Amino acid sequence: MNMKKDFLWGGALAANQCEGAYTEDGKGLNIADIMKCSKKGIPRIIDADIQEGEYYPSHEAIDFYHQYKEDIKLFAEMGFKCLRMSISWARIFPNGDDELPNEKGLQFYDNVFDELLKYHIQPVVTLSHFETPLNLVNKYSSWRNPILIDLFMKYAEVVFHRYKNKIKYWITFNEINETMNKEVPWLQAGLKFTENENHNEIKILASHHMFIASAKTVILGHKINPDFKIGCMIQYTPSYTKTCSPQDERARQLYYQQNYYYTDVMVKGKYTTLCQSLLKRLNIDLKISKEDEYLLQNGKVDFIAFSYYFSYVVKAINKYEFSIEKKNEYLKRGQWNRNIDPIGLRIALNELYHHYEIPLFIVENGIPLDDQINEKDEIIDEERIEFFRNHILQIKQSIDEDYIDVMGYTTWGPIDIVSVSTGEMKKRYGFIYVDKDNAGKGTLKRYKKKSFDWYKMVIESNGEKL
C-alpha cells in the first residue's frame, strides 16, 4: 500500500483554541473571546461582553502565543510535514474594519511560519476558524451583512501578500456548512437571531456572502501567487438510515442535500439543481446577481478539506423533516457521546471524491479522551492509538482500492487545546498533554503521551507501520 511521497501528515489547530494572549500586541476581541466553559451537556454561554471575574477559556488557552517554539519543536520531533493552523483575523484587523493592519499581529505569524519552515513543516492556513472580530458582529450583524465580504477581502489581501512566499495551502472558512447547524451559526458566522426572524433565511443569506467571499479569495489568491492551493472546508458526517424504509432513505437524501449545498457552490461554482431544491424546500427566494454568478464560476476551490469524527443515523419524521442521532447499535461508543466509526471515514472519502473528483484533505480527525497522567508522569492513551490506527487503515484502503486522491491527514489538536463546543480542557485530543484543567488551573507544562511515539513512527514510515 502506498501513500504519496509528499503526503501531508500533521496536526491541526485553531488560533482561538490554542494561542491565548487575547488582547496582547493589539489583538481585538473575537467571537470566541466572550464564550464561557459549559457544564456537562449545556451549550457554552455567550456573554455580550467580558464580565469581570469570569473564566473565558480562549483568553489564555494553552498559551501557544508565547510557547509556540517549544510546541513546534515537539511537532517537528513527531516528523510533521505540515501544521494546519488559523490566523486570528482580530490580530491583523483588531476591529475588523480598521484602516490599517496591526503590524505586531502580522509579525507574530511571520515568526510562527518561520519557526515551522525551519523544520520543513508547511503551514496550512485557515483564514477564518470561528474567529470573526467581535466588532463586526456588534456593528454590522456579521455575515448577514454583505459589507463583511469587503472587510474579509481586505484581510485576505493583506495576509496573501505578506505570506505569499511562506504559505502554499490556504483554507477559507472552517466548517462552513456548520452555518446551517442549530448551535454553531454563532461560531461559524457570528449570527445571532431575534425570535421572529426566519433563521434559515438568514443562514442562507450569510452563507451566500461567505460563498462570494470564498470565490473572491480564490480569484485574488491565484492572482497574487498562481501556486497557491486554496480549499473550502466542511464538516463531513456521513449518515446511515435508521431502517431500510424508503422514507428513511429519502430522509438521508435530504440530510445530504444540506452538506452538498455548500460543496456544490464552492466546487462546482454555481447553485446546482440540488441547491435550488434545498432552497425550495426551505421556501427561500435567494436572489443571485449576474456578477455573483460570474464570481462563483471563476472562484472554484482547488481542493476540499473536511473534518471527520463520527457518523450519524437519520430517520424520517415526515416528508420534509428528519431526525439525526449518534447512537448506532453496530458501533462502539467512545467518550463525549461519540460513536467510533473508521469505515465512516472511507465512506466519506468515497462520497466526496466521486461527487467532485478534486483532491481531498482530511484536516480534522481525532478522539476526545479524558486522559489521566499517572505517578510516573505517563499518559497511556492506547484507545487513541487504536482509533488512529483504524482510521488511517481506512484512508490507505481508500487510496489503494478506491483510487481516492487524498492530499494529507492532520489530526485534530495534536496538543491538548480548548474544546470549541464545551470550552473544556479535559476533552483532550492531543499526542501532547497540557497540564491545565476545566477551571483554567495548571502549570501549562507539556508531557508526551504514549501516542506521541506511535504517530512519529507512522509518519516516519509514511503510513506503512501502524
200 binds ligand BG6 (CB under 6 A): no
Q: In the Cβ-directed half-sphere of 391, how many Cα atoms lie within 13 Å?
A: 25
- The nearest distance, CB 272 to ligand BG6, in angstroms, is 25
Instruction: From 31-39, 101-109, 294-302, 415-423, give the range in contact with ligand BG6 by CB under 6 A.
Output: 415-423
Q: In terms of CB distance, is 91 or 427 closer to ligand BG6?
A: 427
Q: In terms of CB distance, is 102 or 419 closer to ligand BG6?
A: 419
Nearest CA among 412, 414, 441 for reference residue 425: 441
235 binds ligand BG6 (CB under 6 A): yes
Per-residue binder mask for ligand BG6 (CB under 6 A), 142-181, x = binder: --------------------------------xx------
Query: Burial level of 318, CB count in 10 A (0-12/13-18/19+)?
Result: exposed
Nearest 5°: phi and psi at 158? -60, -50
Task: By CB under 6 A, name the one of 252, 384, 427, 436 that touches ligand BG6.
Answer: 427
Q: In the Cβ-directed half-sphere of 153, how many Cα atoms lie within 13 Å?
A: 17
Nearest 5°: phi and psi at 117? -65, -30
Q: In terms of CB distance, is 181 or 200 closer to ligand BG6?
A: 181
Nearest 5°: phi and psi at 11? -140, 170
Q: In terms of CB distance, is 32 or 251 closer to ligand BG6?
A: 32
Q: In terms of CB distance, is 102 or 174 closer to ligand BG6?
A: 174
Alpha helices by DSSP H, listed for 190-341, are 199-224, 246-263, 273-281, 290-298
- The nearest distance, CB 13 to ligand BG6, in angstroms, is 9
Say how many C-beta atoms besides its own lie within 10 A of residue 304's C-beta.
25
Q: Give, as ranges, the residues between 344 and 403 that touch ligand BG6 (CB under 6 A).
A: 364, 368
User: Which are the catalytic amino acids?
Assistant: 175, 364
Nearest 5°: phi and psi at 162? -60, -40
- The nearest distance, CB 98 to ligand BG6, in angstroms, is 26
421 binds ligand BG6 (CB under 6 A): yes
Question: Residue number with the shortest CB distance to ligand BG6?
Answer: 421
- Determine what percent of the chain falls in helix, strand and coil, rounding each to the nearest 5: 40, 15, 40
Q: In terms of CB distance, is 12 or 399 closer to ligand BG6?
A: 12
Instruction: From 51-59, 209-217, 256-264, 414-422, give the range in contact with ligand BG6 by CB under 6 A.
Output: 414-422
Residue 427: strand, helix, or coil = coil
Which residues does 74 contact at the CB level (< 8 Å), separation at least 6? 415, 432, 446, 448, 452
Task: By CB under 6 A, name the one of 14, 32, 85, 176 that touches ligand BG6.
Answer: 14
32 binds ligand BG6 (CB under 6 A): no
307 binds ligand BG6 (CB under 6 A): yes
29 binds ligand BG6 (CB under 6 A): no
> What Å distances lie between residue 260 and 20, 209, 274, CA to CA?
34, 17, 8
- Residues lying near ligand BG6 in the complex (CB under 6 A) are found at 14, 17, 174-175, 235, 307, 364, 368, 412, 419-421, 427
